């Protein structure tokens, strides 16, 4: 193996470890929020019992409304049918919400994928990270990330759209320039390499203040997921 190949392999291994560690930390943060909510469960019950004992049903209703809003911030919001996709998407949605970025997700994966979990992690993780990074440059009222996943025949379709502050982005060498500085385009290169290796299709489009990435990945004749 050549020296260049060894350097690439080491860089790739380090990148994959970093990606997995980031996702682990994000999932742990989501579960920490859930554990915190459960810890307060008894206090919430006692507060509602106190209102009920006084016959203050309006206060009970208001308290329940407040709890519903609070629970929505820690509830699992996406259930695709694929455990890895669920873990990545929900951890990233939790991260986006913490940064005051709304996310609209419509994701369904009703079959077992031939795509490896590592490849899925790299694609979804990088797409979400890029969308979050771009959204942070916008005022909160203009932030929005749209995520769509579904099967189109025997192919997995992935679409990410986010609004940007830079307007229409320019390309260099057939690829949109990253706005995250030197060394930060490696994730995009990894996505491109995975799509090419799997014989898929990738499209990036920057129009009217929105940036969209669309990916199609052949999955063969897949069986319904268990």
Model pLDDT for residues 8-18, shown as the tens digit of each residue: 566 666 656 66
| Domains contained in the chain, number | 1
Is residue 195 a part of any domain in this protein? yes
Is residue 168 a part of any domain in this protein? yes
Look up the pTM and report it.
0.65
Residue ranges making up the domain that contains 88: 76-218
Is residue 145 a part of any domain in this protein? yes
Q: What value does the mean pLDDT of the chain take?
A: 78
3-class SS of residue 138: coil
Is residue 136 a part of any domain in this protein? yes
Is residue 13 a part of any domain in this protein? no
Q: Which residue carries 């929505």 as its tokens?
A: 72
We report the CATH number of the domain holding residue 152 as: 3.30.565.10
d(CA 178, CA 170): 10
Is residue 20 a part of any domain in this protein? no
Is residue 28 a part of any domain in this protein? no
Q: Residue 38: which H helix or E strand, with range?
A: helix 3-39
pLDDT digits (tens, 9 = 90+) for 63-95: 777 776 666 555 556 888 888 888 888 888 888
How many CB atoms neighbour CB 46 within 10 A? 9
What is the token pair recorded at 53? 């004992």
Is residue 43 a part of any domain in this protein? no
């Amino acid at each position: 193996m050549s020296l260049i190949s060894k350097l690439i392999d080491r860089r790739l291994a380090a990148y994959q470890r970093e990606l997995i560690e980031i996702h682990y930390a994000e999932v742990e943060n989501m579960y920490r929020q859930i554990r915190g909510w459960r810890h307060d469960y008894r206090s919430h019950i006692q507060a509602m019992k106190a209102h009920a004992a006084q016959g203050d049903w309006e206060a009970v209703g208001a308290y329940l409304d407040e709890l519903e809003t609070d629970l929505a911030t820690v509830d699992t919001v996406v259930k695709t049918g694929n455990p890895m996709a669920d873990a990545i998407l929900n951890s990233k949605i939790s991260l986006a919400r913490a940064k005051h970025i709304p996310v609209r997700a419509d994701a369904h994966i009703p079959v077992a994928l031939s795509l490896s979990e590592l490849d899925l992690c790299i694609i979804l993780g990088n797409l979400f990270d890029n969308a979050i990074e771009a959204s942070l440059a916008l005022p909160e009222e203009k932030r929005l990330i749209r995520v769509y996943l579904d099967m189109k025949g025997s192919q997995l379709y992935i679409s990410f759209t986010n609004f940007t502050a830079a307007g229409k982005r320019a390309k260099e060498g057939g690829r949109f320039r990253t706005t995250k500085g030197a060394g930060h385009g490696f994730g995009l290169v990894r996505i491109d390499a995975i799509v090419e290796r799997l014989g898929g299709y990738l499209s990036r489009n920057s129009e009217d203040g929105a940036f969209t990435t669309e990916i199609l990945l052949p999955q063969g004749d897949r069986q319904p997921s268990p």
